[in-house]
Amino acid sequence: MKRSLVLTTTNIFLFQVGWLVCILCGSQWALLYTAGALCLHFFLSTQRLGDLVAVMLCLAIGLAHDLILIRTGQINFVESPLWPPLWLVCLWILMGITLNHSLLWVYERPYWAAALGAISGPLSYLAGVKLSSAQWSSPLTEVVPIIAFLWLLVLPLHRFLSVRIKPYVPH
């Protein structure tokens, strides 16, 4: 099997399992799983610096996204009332490793990425709140459009910043 296919398949698997681990098992297991997933991903990846940039940008955008939701009173986290909990931070890190690999097909198309984000972002948060210690602080009729709007921007913003930074990243 070609290395790229192994990486893409592993990448999909790492993210999907990671989503469940982070949501269902909490911060300690999320941190352990994410550390292992990062080690495996970066071992297999041929574009380590590009992936590192993707992860760091995803983490920064994700923290801003979740701080907006927390500070505007849309969502509460039992274990961390002022900041996103570690398990949610780990989810952003895991998403960052998908953008140059298993999600590249949509990530390179800004309009598709915006549409997919506006649909899948709220669905992921709805499922995550049902399965985790998170709680909605506002009615869903208010929260879902806000999350959809934010996710309309998340992937295109990440791509925009990534393209601007890429010339400065050694190959």
pLDDT at position 167, please?
85
Please give the tally of structural domains in the chain.
1
Residue 150 makes CB contacts below 8 A (sequence gap 6+) with 65, 68, 69, 121
pTM of this prediction?
0.94
Give the pLDDT means over successive 10-residue stretches in the chain (171 positions). 80 95 96 97 92 96 96 92 95 95 88 94 95 93 95 93 87 69
Q: Which domain holds residue 159?
A: 3-168
